Every structure is written in structure tokens, then in C-alpha cells.
Amino acid sequence: PPITSPTASTVWNVGDTQTVTWSTANLPTNVTNPDGMLILGYVANGSENLMLQSPLATNLSYSVGQAQITVPSVPTGNNYIVVLFGDSGNASPQFTI
């Protein structure tokens, strides 16, 4: 499902609790993998670099449409993305931490 928040204008602060949201409008009727996972990543040199070893959240139900996470301690940057993994991977726009 497409991520609806964070958006390109979003700014997160390390240690804050944030809500990541995604659209539930067009969920497939037969989801092959009902448990999603949120991954933080960043874009560098045109490539997505995902922090797979430290997911923001796991065992997410797509139908809920949101998850609360704690912003991890990462270097300041404006090229971060959140990716919703599972049945299909969808990335947010780049945003700032």
C-alpha cells in the first residue's frame, strides 16, 4: 500500500514518536503476506539503502493503515525514506530527520 505519511515536507527528530500511515483504499482481497514491516532507509547516488537489520516496526496488519514508531538515532539528513515491506514494497517520498 502507498505510504501517505511521512511526506516530502516532513521533519522528524531523533527519539520522537511518529505515526507512519499508508492507504488502505486498494488492498488486495487475497493478501499473500498479511504481516508487513516498516524499514527506514535513505537515498544516495540514486539508490535506496535500507536498514533491514533494524526495522522500525514488524508484524503490521496492512488493513490498520498506520503504525507508531520511535525515530532511531541516525545522522541528520534530508534523504530519508520509509518503506512498507510485505506483499509489496512501497517507499515514502524523501524527508528529513
Q: What is the pLDDT of residues 34-89, one digit of tens each?
A: 678 999 999 999 999 999 999 999 998 888 899 999 999 999 999 999 999 876 66
Best CA proximity match to 16, nearest among 93, 74, 60, 84:
74
CA-to-CA separations, 67 to 15, 18, 43, in angstroms, rounded: 16, 8, 22
Residue-level pLDDT at 33: 67
9-46 pLDDT per residue, tens: 999 999 999 999 998 887 766 666 667 899 999 999 99
Largest CA distance in the chain: 40
Hunting for cell 514491516 — which residue is that? 37
pTM, 2 dp: 0.89
DSSP secondary structure code for residue 94 in this structure? P
